Amino acid sequence: MPKNVFRTGLATIVAIGTLAPAAFAQRGTLKKEPVSQPLIRKIFTADPSAHVFKGRIFLYPSHDIESEVMENDNGDHFNMKDYHVFSMTDVEGKVKDHGVALSIKDIPWAGRQLWAPDAAFKNGTYYLYFPLKDKQDIFRIGVATSKKPQGPFKAEPTPIPGSYSIDPCVFRDANGDYYMYFGGIWGGQLQRWKNNRYDSTAGIPQPGDTAVLPRVAKLSSDMKTFAEPVHEVKILDEKGNLFMEDNKEKRFFEAAWVHYYNGKYYFSYSTGDSHNICYAMGDNPYGPFTYKGVILEPVEGWTNHHSIVFYDGQWYLFYHDVQISGKTHLRNVKVTPLFYNEDGTIKKQNAYKN
């Protein structure tokens, strides 16, 4: 168990003053009326990446399972082993489960923990990007391919060279270039990477440190390699300064997502231990991005992870909470409409009714 965690009675308390996952599940302190209902009930799903392919919304979420692993700060209890792909033609209609799209047993370099994936399409091929710990227990990002958006997908024999950490998001720019954004601190190991070099001794950022930044790299034409070295993505406050680690309400933690709207690039992300989905805006896919506000206030559970997609004349925000199970590692995917203000900023959404 990490040194900053101790167990007391019915809950796990994190010494920095925030409730760890077990506290939400066992105490049930956040029982609120949700604005939307779970899309998928037969299995537990989270971290939904939504894309429109062939006139349908396809969802590429994590698949939560009960693996009997003790909860801790590094997320070992999120011990996912495969991916299912889902699709729908109506966000209020039936969701189709296309079955297992990729299993950890079919990935040659696999160690453990298939976390939040993303997908992309180019020249007749669908690409599934996924974080996975290798046999040295270091998170890398892999890629698998299929001729169908639902898979099944066949994984490449090795991870993407130069890739690391978690939560890949692949964004297609208007000129046809593809960029991968990624990274997550704590269990996602991003804090261990300095100048794209791994340091197993690097600790969790402390108050007074500059916040760890997400990463980006343009993809090569084959969609299986990086076309350039990995860059940091700068997220700035309204004065043009980088955030400090202790600004937990605004700084990056994980779950990068990028979309384009009315001439602006929107970089949205989770603050992790403070549970906001925030966003920043910029003029370039590399950034810098200037912080604008909160898209989604905290949900029930320990994590908050989203995607944003335009479909049939409406923008939608996909996310998850723990309405069904009440357990932070057994989540359920949801969706709600997303709206913009006249100046291009995004209207804040609460997952629960006031």
Give the residue numbers marked as catalytic.
47, 254
How far is residue 354 CA from its own chain's centroid? 26
Q: Residue 9 and residue 103: Cα distance in Å, rounded?
A: 37
Grouping H, G, I as helix, E, B as strand and the rest as coil, residue 29 is coil
Strand ranges (E), 54-138: 56-64, 82-88, 96-103, 112-114, 118-122, 125-133
Bridge pairing between strands 277-282 and 289-296: antiparallel
Q: Give, for 27, the enclosing helix (H) or strand (E).
A: helix 21-27
CA distance 145 to 147: 7
Residue 162 near residue 180, CB atoms below 8 Å: no
- Listed in sequence order, the residues at least 6 apart from 238 whose beta carbon sits closer than 8 Å to its beta carbon are 290, 291
Residues ≥6 apart with Cβ < 8 Å to 30: 24, 300
Distance CA 243, CA 207 (A): 11
Alpha helices in 134-242 (DSSP H): none
Whose CA is closest to 277, among 296, 263, 261?
296
- Closest listed residue to residue 99, CA positions, set 83, 88, 112, 123: 83
Beta-sheet pairing, 197-198 with 193-194: antiparallel
* Distance (Å, whole) CA 47 – CA 304: 8
> Which residues neighbour 68 within 8 Å (Cβ) at sequence distance 6 or greater?
none
Asked whether 240 and 252 are in contact (CB, 8 A), the reply is no
